[in-house]
Structure 1
Amino acid sequence: MIKIYNTMSRQLEEFKPLQAGKIGMYVCGPTVYNYIHIGNARSVVAFDVIRRYLEYRGFDVNYVSNFTDVDDKIIKGANAEHLSTKEFSERYIAAFFEDIDALGVKHATTNPKASQYIDAMIDFIAELIDTGYAYEASGDVYFRVAKAHDYAKLANKNLEELIEGASGRTDEETQRKESSADFALWKSAKTGEVSWRSPWGEGRPGWHIECSVMSTSLLGDTIDIHGGGADLEFPHHTNEIAQSEAKTGQKFANYWMHNGFVNVDGEKMSKSLGNFTTVHDLLKLVPANHLRFFLATTHYRRPLNFTDEALLDAENNVKKLENAYRNLVSTDEMTDEALSELMTYKTSFMEAMDDDFNVANALTVFYDFISWVNKGNGGSEVRQFFDDVLEILGLHFADEADLDGEIEELIEERQAARAARDFAKSDQIRDALKAKGIVLEDTKDGVRWHRE
């Protein structure tokens, strides 16, 4: 039985999909005005692991993750480079796929773009106006939060306190609102901005309406799981719930899941703080498998501390897994005792993952399994379980033949360096191989090598 920590109820709940064997899952994707940073990647990888495990457990997952390609930052960036917003955002959409491909992330079933759903957003907003949940003011359209049922319940906030907290604002937009807590569904066009025709004049959608429309269009009025970073609980997911449930009259999502932040020196990593590292740059310095392991193996709700030591731990653990995988004994015969032990590892691994996808506890089981493998236990069923866990973690090791070829090439390069009396280079190659778990032995018959 799979249990999920539901942010809405603040407790573990038994997972019951709307339709047996099928899951509709929506995870908020990036606003495409820059390369993704490690904080963004943490969310992408965390939900990729969750999706992979659900598929391992036999579910057909319809996984939707959007691109916000209509946004203030996109308009500003595009104007600065004299590009259309489409040209500007498509550059970073391509970069996003390049980065997640390197990290071994499965592509979503669908990656909708906000700009593709403008007509549906206009229809959605018009219906909210017709039912009294929204109002037009000088070309803008706002949602009446006071009319929403139990507004801000997801973020555990009180509407009266929110209104009081915003009551001191005196800017022009606040003056147009009926309540300072009301949020924009449609924004009237400003000079130099991309815009679309609407019943309220030229303009563009607000951020929150985009995800509501894309989600309900692709997954229906109620979805099984809605996910994203903890920073989206309020106001983004809060406002999604308010406008979606006002429009459909149905519960928007049955389970809300939020991943923890990535911290650098005790502060949340973000572009606004300036302490972010882009995945694009980091992948030039850190092997993709190591970065993937670092992002994938902390429980998704816990904060993740980005340090050199953490990356080194990831590197060592990946090597541990790879060496065990390479040295796995091939045999089709297993004793009843070995089969029983293997089943115990598999059951314990699933019990850990069934408990709100606790990958950290599941890894503890897997490391015990690795020790068991290193004692000479193997066979096709052992390899299959090993493959299944690697698939869930999103780790892929190079083909054995290709890897052996690379090793032989490096050994030849080392021999050439030795012949040229370039001992510094020779030692460097030896150390590089050692770091990969390859030990060289210089004998009278030539160089021999084996894995640790």
Structure 2
Amino acid sequence: MLKIFNTLTRKKEIFKSIVKNKIGIYVCGVTVYDLCHLGHARTFLIFDMIIRYLKNCNYKVNYIRNITDIDDKIILKSIQKKESFVNFSNRMILEMNNDFSKINLLKPNFEPKVSNCINNIIKIISNLIKKKYAYIGKNGDVFFSIKKYSNYGKISNRKINNFKKKNIFHNSLSIKKDFEDFVLWKLSKKDNEPHWSSPWGEGRPGWHIECSAITEKYLGCEFDIHGGGIDLLFPHHENEIAQSSCFNDSFSVSYWIHTGLLVINNLKMSKSLNNSLILKDVLKKFDGDVIRFFFLSTHYRSPLEYFEEKIKKSKKSFEKIRKAVLFLNSGFFSSFNNFCNSSIIEEDNFHSAMKNDFNTPKAISVLFSIVKKINFFKKNKNLKNVFLYSFKLKELVKILGFFTDQNVFLKDKDINEETLKKRNKKKSIALFIKLRNKARKQKKWDLADSFKEKLLEFGVVIEDKSYKDLK
């Protein structure tokens, strides 16, 4: 049975979906004010792995990931670039999608922009004001009153009276009731700022409210999984729980999943800290599967320190798996589905690791044990087990999202598509001849005939000899 560590309860829990065999999952997406960095890649690649595994467990997954396309930073960048915020954000979204395709990320079922959900945001804010959970500040902005929500701090384990008061408190006190209150709607302060009409004046939404509006629209008040980086735990997810719970008493997320930070020089990788590695630049040195392997080699909840030597070592390790998969991608394995239906203990070990809170380091160690056995069986010419273990390896690596792009086998400079086809054909013919002769020696005539038919597909005609001629 699948167990997931739930940030809300701080323990592993047996996973059970609200609706049988169906899962609703929401992951906080990118604020598109710049190119994506490697920290973004880790978060979304981890959830890509999780979603792929849930699908492998025969769940029908409804995956929602938002795009924050309106934000103070986006406005500032668009002004600096002398573009409209729409053109600028759309350009960044195209860059994001291009980068994500190179690391083999599945596309969400829905990926709504915040700017397309303004009416839903206004609906929730209006409801919160009506219920006295929100109020209009002295500057016209709308704020959520944290003290009105008694369960504030339930996921971050922070108490209101323990919040550190900042020096700016006396300045903010003039516009809102309490320092901890956060903005739901900002009035436009300048004529060139993007804005929308609302009951409180021309303005734009605050950051936290957008996720509450989008989950309510696409998943309803109850859904299975909410995810994001651990840096979003507070205040973003705490605020989201508060406003969603006050808007709808039935709001509930069964499992909160948070990924560990990607760190560099002991600091969180972040654009604001000016220490981020642009994903596009890293992809010039390492392909998407190597980056995926680097991330999945560490448990998703653990912090991961990046330095280039470490990912270079990951590349060398991953080449062992790549070579094994390259061998079995020769084109003849599709004919052996029935032949390879047998189970192996490594297959069970792989799924045991994945069902224990997606323990990918353990699962990857299982892949290497399979590679080791493949090499042993090849050396000892045990073709049956070579087929069996190679076939299982190919199945398991795809569950983790590796080799989803068939062109991955052409990335070696010494391999092009034409030579690969020739190489595969030559190997296939030689192998089928060997297997057919072995089957005839064992008097397995039906199996021998099936190999003969397969050779015909390659344009090879076999003239049968008597059994004694094979001795």
- Tell me, yes or no, if the aligned pair for 1:333 and 1:379 is still in contact at 8 Å: no
For 1:28-427, list aligned pairs within 5 A. Answer: 28-137=28-137, 138-162=139-163, 165-166=164-165, 168-170=167-169, 172-191=171-190, 192-328=192-328, 342-376=343-377, 378=385, 382-396=389-403, 398=406, 407=415
**DSSP-derived class of the 2:344 partner:** helix
**DSSP-derived class of the 2:221 partner:** coil
* Deviation (angstroms), 1:153: 1.2
- Tell me, yes or no, if the aligned pair for 1:34 and 1:92 is still in contact at 8 Å: yes
Tell me the alpha carbon deviations over residues 70-95 of structure 1, each in whole angstroms, 9 at most, x when there is no partner: 10000000111121111111111000
Hey, what's the Cα distance between the residues in 1 that align with 2:15 and 2:416? 50
Hey, what's the Cα distance between the residues in 2 that align with 1:408 and 1:387? 21
May I ask how many residue pairs the two structures share in their alignment? Answer: 407
Hey, what's the Cα distance between the residues in 1 that align with 2:6 and 2:120? 29
- Tell me, yes or no, if the aligned pair for 2:66 and 2:114 is still in contact at 8 Å: yes
Give the TM-score normalised by the residue count of structure 1: 0.84
Structure 1 unaligned regions, length at least 5: 412-452
Hey, what's the Cα distance between the residues in 2 that align with 1:333 and 1:99? 35
Hey, what's the Cα distance between the residues in 2 that align with 1:409 and 1:389? 25
Change (3 A) 1:108 1:297: farther
Give the TM-score normalised by the residue count of structure 2: 0.81
- Tell me, yes or no, if the aligned pair for 2:103 and 2:287 is still in contact at 8 Å: no
**DSSP-derived class of the 1:178 partner:** coil
Hey, what's the Cα distance between the residues in 1 that align with 2:228 and 2:350? 25
- Residue identity in the other structure for 2:212: S
Q: What is the Cα-based RMSD across aligned positions, in Å?
A: 2.5
* Deviation (angstroms), 1:29: 0.6
Change (3 A) 1:139 1:327: same
- Tell me, yes or no, if the aligned pair for 2:374 and 2:390 is still in contact at 8 Å: no
Hey, what's the Cα distance between the residues in 2 that align with 1:99 and 1:159? 40
* Deviation (angstroms), 1:382: 4.0
Tell me the alpha carbon deviations over residues 294-338 of structure 1, each in whole angstroms, 9 at most, x when there is no partner: 1233211011111122211221122101111233496778999x9
Hey, what's the Cα distance between the residues in 2 that align with 1:392 and 1:228? 21
* Deviation (angstroms), 1:409: 9.4
Change (3 A) 1:375 1:333: farther
- Tell me, yes or no, if the aligned pair for 1:327 and 1:374 is still in contact at 8 Å: no
**DSSP-derived class of the 1:46 partner:** helix
Hey, what's the Cα distance between the residues in 2 that align with 1:118 and 1:71? 13
Q: Which moved more, 1:57-66 or 1:365-374?
A: 365-374
Q: Percent identity?
A: 37
Hey, what's the Cα distance between the residues in 2 that align with 1:89 and 1:370? 44
